[in-house]
Amino acid sequence: MRAVLRFRMTFPRGSARTGTEEKRYEMKITILMGSPNRKGSTHLLAESFKRGAEEAGHTCEVIDVCRADLHPCIGCVRCGYEGPCAQKDDMEAIRGKLLRSDMVVFATPLYYYGMSAQLKALVDRFCAFNSSLNRRHLKSALLVVAWNADDWTFEALTAHYKTLVRYIRFEDEGMVLGYGCGTPEMTERSGYPEQAYQLGKRL
Protein backbone atom coordinates (compact mmCIF):
# COMPACT_ATOMS: atom_id res chain seq x y z
CA MET A 1 0.00 0.00 0.00
CA ARG A 2 1.25 3.47 -0.81
CA ALA A 3 0.01 6.54 1.01
CA VAL A 4 0.85 10.18 0.41
CA LEU A 5 1.09 11.89 3.78
CA ARG A 6 1.51 15.58 4.37
CA PHE A 7 2.90 15.63 7.90
CA ARG A 8 6.11 17.48 7.21
CA MET A 9 6.89 18.07 10.86
CA THR A 10 6.97 14.42 11.85
CA PHE A 11 8.32 13.01 8.63
CA PRO A 12 10.24 15.75 6.89
CA ARG A 13 10.82 14.37 3.43
CA GLY A 14 11.17 11.57 0.94
CA SER A 15 9.88 8.08 1.36
CA ALA A 16 10.30 5.50 4.06
CA ARG A 17 9.61 1.80 4.14
CA THR A 18 8.06 0.24 7.18
CA GLY A 19 7.79 -3.51 6.62
CA THR A 20 5.95 -3.92 3.33
CA GLU A 21 4.44 -0.44 3.46
CA GLU A 22 5.96 2.50 1.63
CA LYS A 23 4.99 5.97 2.77
CA ARG A 24 5.74 9.07 0.73
CA TYR A 25 5.98 12.53 2.13
CA GLU A 26 5.47 15.91 0.56
CA MET A 27 8.72 17.61 -0.32
CA LYS A 28 9.67 21.18 -1.04
CA ILE A 29 11.75 21.08 -4.21
CA THR A 30 13.90 23.92 -5.49
CA ILE A 31 14.71 23.78 -9.20
CA LEU A 32 17.78 25.80 -10.12
CA MET A 33 17.15 26.72 -13.75
CA GLY A 34 20.56 27.29 -15.27
CA SER A 35 19.58 28.07 -18.86
CA PRO A 36 19.07 31.64 -20.07
CA ASN A 37 16.49 30.39 -22.62
CA ARG A 38 13.01 30.62 -21.15
CA LYS A 39 11.59 28.44 -23.93
CA GLY A 40 14.61 26.25 -24.46
CA SER A 41 15.37 22.57 -24.01
CA THR A 42 16.43 22.82 -20.37
CA HIS A 43 13.11 24.50 -19.66
CA LEU A 44 11.27 21.59 -21.32
CA LEU A 45 12.97 19.11 -19.01
CA ALA A 46 12.51 21.26 -15.91
CA GLU A 47 8.81 21.85 -16.60
CA SER A 48 8.23 18.14 -17.23
CA PHE A 49 10.01 17.25 -14.00
CA LYS A 50 7.96 19.86 -12.13
CA ARG A 51 4.68 18.53 -13.52
CA GLY A 52 5.56 15.01 -12.43
CA ALA A 53 6.70 16.10 -8.97
CA GLU A 54 3.60 18.23 -8.41
CA GLU A 55 1.36 15.36 -9.50
CA ALA A 56 3.16 13.26 -6.89
CA GLY A 57 2.18 15.80 -4.23
CA HIS A 58 5.37 17.83 -3.94
CA THR A 59 5.80 21.60 -4.08
CA CYS A 60 8.26 23.02 -6.61
CA GLU A 61 9.82 26.43 -6.94
CA VAL A 62 11.87 27.35 -9.99
CA ILE A 63 14.67 29.84 -9.50
CA ASP A 64 15.65 31.65 -12.69
CA VAL A 65 19.37 31.57 -11.95
CA CYS A 66 20.32 33.45 -15.13
CA ARG A 67 18.13 36.45 -14.32
CA ALA A 68 18.84 36.58 -10.60
CA ASP A 69 21.23 39.19 -9.27
CA LEU A 70 24.06 36.76 -8.55
CA HIS A 71 27.73 37.49 -8.51
CA PRO A 72 30.54 34.95 -8.65
CA CYS A 73 32.27 34.08 -5.38
CA ILE A 74 35.19 36.46 -4.86
CA GLY A 75 37.03 34.02 -2.59
CA CYS A 76 37.43 36.46 0.30
CA VAL A 77 36.19 33.77 2.72
CA ARG A 78 34.86 36.44 5.07
CA CYS A 79 32.02 33.95 5.56
CA GLY A 80 34.53 31.50 7.08
CA TYR A 81 32.74 28.88 4.95
CA GLU A 82 29.68 29.32 7.17
CA GLY A 83 28.42 32.81 7.77
CA PRO A 84 27.12 35.97 6.13
CA CYS A 85 28.44 36.46 2.61
CA ALA A 86 30.27 39.73 1.97
CA GLN A 87 28.31 40.16 -1.27
CA LYS A 88 24.78 41.48 -0.98
CA ASP A 89 22.70 40.08 -3.81
CA ASP A 90 19.96 37.49 -4.40
CA MET A 91 22.04 34.69 -2.94
CA GLU A 92 20.86 35.52 0.56
CA ALA A 93 17.26 34.67 -0.39
CA ILE A 94 18.31 31.63 -2.44
CA ARG A 95 20.36 30.35 0.48
CA GLY A 96 17.26 30.51 2.71
CA LYS A 97 15.14 28.74 0.10
CA LEU A 98 17.70 25.95 -0.32
CA LEU A 99 18.05 25.40 3.40
CA ARG A 100 14.26 25.16 3.73
CA SER A 101 14.06 22.69 0.82
CA ASP A 102 14.07 18.92 0.86
CA MET A 103 15.44 18.57 -2.64
CA VAL A 104 17.45 20.58 -5.14
CA VAL A 105 17.38 20.06 -8.90
CA PHE A 106 20.22 21.27 -11.09
CA ALA A 107 18.81 22.05 -14.56
CA THR A 108 21.36 23.14 -17.13
CA PRO A 109 22.35 23.12 -20.77
CA LEU A 110 25.73 21.56 -21.41
CA TYR A 111 28.19 24.41 -21.97
CA TYR A 112 31.64 23.25 -23.01
CA TYR A 113 31.01 19.95 -21.28
CA GLY A 114 30.13 21.43 -17.93
CA MET A 115 27.14 23.17 -16.36
CA SER A 116 26.35 26.74 -17.44
CA ALA A 117 28.54 29.43 -15.89
CA GLN A 118 25.47 31.02 -14.30
CA LEU A 119 24.64 27.83 -12.44
CA LYS A 120 28.26 27.19 -11.50
CA ALA A 121 28.49 30.70 -10.06
CA LEU A 122 25.54 29.89 -7.81
CA VAL A 123 27.08 26.56 -6.75
CA ASP A 124 30.31 28.32 -5.79
CA ARG A 125 28.29 30.56 -3.47
CA PHE A 126 27.39 27.42 -1.45
CA CYS A 127 30.72 28.29 0.15
CA ALA A 128 29.04 30.63 2.67
CA PHE A 129 26.68 27.92 4.00
CA ASN A 130 28.72 24.85 3.28
CA SER A 131 28.24 23.21 6.68
CA SER A 132 24.51 23.89 6.96
CA LEU A 133 23.98 22.54 3.46
CA ASN A 134 26.02 19.48 4.36
CA ARG A 135 23.86 18.82 7.39
CA ARG A 136 20.59 19.06 5.40
CA HIS A 137 21.22 15.86 3.39
CA LEU A 138 19.08 17.22 0.57
CA LYS A 139 17.86 14.96 -2.16
CA SER A 140 19.10 16.07 -5.58
CA ALA A 141 18.75 15.50 -9.31
CA LEU A 142 20.44 16.62 -12.51
CA LEU A 143 18.59 17.61 -15.69
CA VAL A 144 20.84 18.42 -18.63
CA VAL A 145 20.59 18.81 -22.40
CA ALA A 146 23.30 18.89 -25.07
CA TRP A 147 23.64 19.05 -28.81
CA ASN A 148 26.16 16.24 -28.91
CA ALA A 149 24.95 12.65 -28.85
CA ASP A 150 28.26 10.79 -28.42
CA ASP A 151 28.35 8.38 -25.49
CA TRP A 152 31.02 10.51 -23.75
CA THR A 153 28.97 13.73 -23.95
CA PHE A 154 28.11 13.88 -20.26
CA GLU A 155 31.20 12.23 -18.77
CA ALA A 156 32.69 15.40 -17.31
CA LEU A 157 29.43 16.88 -16.03
CA THR A 158 28.18 13.66 -14.45
CA ALA A 159 31.56 13.20 -12.75
CA HIS A 160 31.28 16.74 -11.39
CA TYR A 161 27.69 16.27 -10.25
CA LYS A 162 28.44 12.95 -8.54
CA THR A 163 31.43 14.46 -6.77
CA LEU A 164 29.35 17.42 -5.60
CA VAL A 165 26.63 15.07 -4.33
CA ARG A 166 29.20 13.03 -2.46
CA TYR A 167 30.93 16.04 -0.96
CA ILE A 168 27.80 17.94 0.13
CA ARG A 169 26.11 14.70 1.20
CA PHE A 170 23.16 15.07 -1.12
CA GLU A 171 21.14 11.99 -1.90
CA ASP A 172 20.98 11.59 -5.67
CA GLU A 173 17.50 10.76 -6.99
CA GLY A 174 18.53 10.54 -10.62
CA MET A 175 19.86 12.22 -13.73
CA VAL A 176 18.21 12.92 -17.07
CA LEU A 177 20.92 13.22 -19.71
CA GLY A 178 19.45 14.67 -22.89
CA TYR A 179 21.70 13.54 -25.73
CA GLY A 180 21.05 15.15 -29.12
CA CYS A 181 18.86 17.92 -27.66
CA GLY A 182 20.33 20.78 -29.70
CA THR A 183 17.07 22.70 -30.14
CA PRO A 184 13.70 22.71 -28.38
CA GLU A 185 12.22 20.91 -31.41
CA MET A 186 14.81 18.13 -31.14
CA THR A 187 14.12 17.87 -27.41
CA GLU A 188 10.36 17.75 -27.89
CA ARG A 189 10.81 14.85 -30.32
CA SER A 190 13.03 12.98 -27.86
CA GLY A 191 12.00 10.87 -24.88
CA TYR A 192 13.83 13.10 -22.38
CA PRO A 193 10.92 15.31 -21.27
CA GLU A 194 9.05 12.09 -20.46
CA GLN A 195 12.08 10.81 -18.53
CA ALA A 196 12.13 14.05 -16.54
CA TYR A 197 8.39 13.77 -15.88
CA GLN A 198 8.80 10.20 -14.63
CA LEU A 199 11.68 11.21 -12.40
CA GLY A 200 9.48 13.84 -10.74
CA LYS A 201 6.48 11.53 -10.57
CA ARG A 202 8.25 8.70 -8.80
CA LEU A 203 9.65 10.83 -5.96
Ligand X SMILES: Cc1cc2nc3c(=O)[nH]c(=O)nc-3n(C[C@H](O)[C@H](O)[C@H](O)COP(=O)(O)O)c2cc1C
Q: Which residues contact 152 (CB under 8 A, 6 or more apart)?
A: none
Which of 66, 104 has the CB closer to ligand X?
A: 66
Number of residues that bind ligand X (CB under 6 A): 19
Please name which of 30, 25, 43, 8 lies closest in space to residue 138, comparing C-alpha atoms: 30
Q: Which residues are bridge partners to 24 per DSSP? A: 4, 15
Residues 145-172 as b or e (16 or more Cβ within 10 Å = b): bbeeeeeebbeebeebbeebbeebebee
The binder of ligand X chosen from 25, 27, 35, 199 (CB under 6 A): 35
Is 145 one of the binding residues for ligand X (CB under 6 A)? Answer: yes
Is 117 one of the binding residues for ligand X (CB under 6 A)? Answer: no
Binding part of the chain for ligand X, among 16-24, 77-85, 88-96, 139-147 by CB under 6 A, reads 139-147
Which of 94, 181 has the CB closer to ligand X?
A: 181
- Give the binding site for ligand X (CB under 6 A): 35, 37, 40-43, 109-113, 145-148, 153, 181-182, 184
